[in-house]
């Protein structure tokens, strides 16, 4: 089970790492897609894309866990009805593609004709751009402010000499 200490530790490590903000934004974006899709070959392909794209894997895995926890209670209430509406309002060419994909030996493993997959993908499309912009801007702003404040802080220099602060830093940073 994810504890508050693990969340704080992940956040501290991610925000103080050397990755660029767009890498964290893309990681959250792809982790959200993997979390909203039902477990299967589609999820594995998203994780393969996470490995191939130069993004922060820990952040993607954390976003996967958060969005997976959000997707379970929303499955019957939001995701499946959204998938039904999404597939019903597709043009005829899109419906033909889904029928072809469902009957093809390899593409049928992605289960593209299922309402859960279509709903997860449709919800991800709605959240993708705001999520990418928010996480990228948040991490860009946080890293600059934190670097400036910690470099000029006398309090941090004094606290770094205290054994309790060293122990807490070890717990959060590792």
Q: What is the predicted pLDDT for the residue at 34?
A: 93
Inform me whether the pLDDT recorded for 98 exceeds 60. yes
Helix residue spans in 16-111 (DSSP H): 21-36, 41-52, 57-74, 80-88, 92-103
The answer to whether the CB of 11 falls within 8 A of the CB of 171 is: no
What does the pLDDT look like over 20-69, one tens digit per residue? 888 889 999 999 999 998 888 888 889 999 989 888 888 888 899 889 98
Range with lowest mean pLDDT among 12-26, 86-100, 103-117, 148-162: 148-162
Inform me whether the pLDDT recorded for 89 exceeds 60. yes
What does the pLDDT look like over 124-170, one tens digit per residue? 989 999 999 999 888 888 777 766 666 576 766 676 677 766 776 66
Domain boundaries, the chain: 19-173
Q: What is the predicted pLDDT for the residue at 168?
A: 64
Q: Which residues contact 121 (CB under 8 A, 6 or more apart)?
A: 33, 36, 37, 83, 86
Measure the CA angle with vertex 129, ends 48 and 81; round to 5°. 80
Crossing angle, helix 115-152 and helix 80-88, to 10 degrees? 120
Helix, strand, coil in percent for the chain, rounding step 5: 80, 0, 20
Burial class (CB in 10 A: 0-12, 13-18, 19+), 42: buried
Q: How many CA atoms lie within 13 A of 73 on its CB side?
A: 3
Mean pLDDT rounded to a whole number for the chain: 79
What is this structure's pTM? 0.73
Nearest-angstrom CA–CA distance, 15 and 10 = 8
Inform me whether the pLDDT recorded for 111 exceeds 90. no
Q: What is the mean pLDDT of residues 83-100?
A: 80
Higher-confidence residue: 77 or 171? 77
Inform me whether the pLDDT recorded for 174 exceeds 60. no
Give me the DSSP letters along 25-42. Answer: HHHHHHHHHHHHSPSSHH
């Amino acid at each position: 089970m994810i504890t508050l200490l693990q969340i704080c530790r992940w956040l501290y490590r991610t925000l103080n790492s050397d990755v660029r903000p767009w890498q964290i934004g893309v990681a959250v974006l792809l982790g959200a897609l993997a979390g909203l899709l039902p477990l299967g070959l589609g999820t594995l392909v998203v994780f393969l894309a996470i490995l191939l794209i130069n993004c922060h894997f820990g952040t993607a895995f954390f976003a996967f866990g958060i969005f997976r926890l959000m997707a379970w209670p929303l499955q019957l209430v939001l995701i499946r009805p959204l998938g039904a509406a999404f597939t019903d309002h597709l043009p005829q060419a899109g419906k033909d593609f889904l029928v072809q994909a469902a009957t093809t030996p390899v593409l049928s493993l992605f289960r593209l004709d299922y309402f859960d997959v279509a709903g997860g993908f449709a919800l991800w499309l709605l959240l993708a751009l705001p999520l990418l912009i928010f996480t990228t801007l948040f991490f860009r702003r946080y890293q600059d402010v934190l670097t400036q404040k910690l470099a000029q802080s006398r309090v941090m220099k004094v606290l770094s000499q205290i054994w309790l602060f060293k122990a807490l830093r070890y717990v959060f940073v590792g």
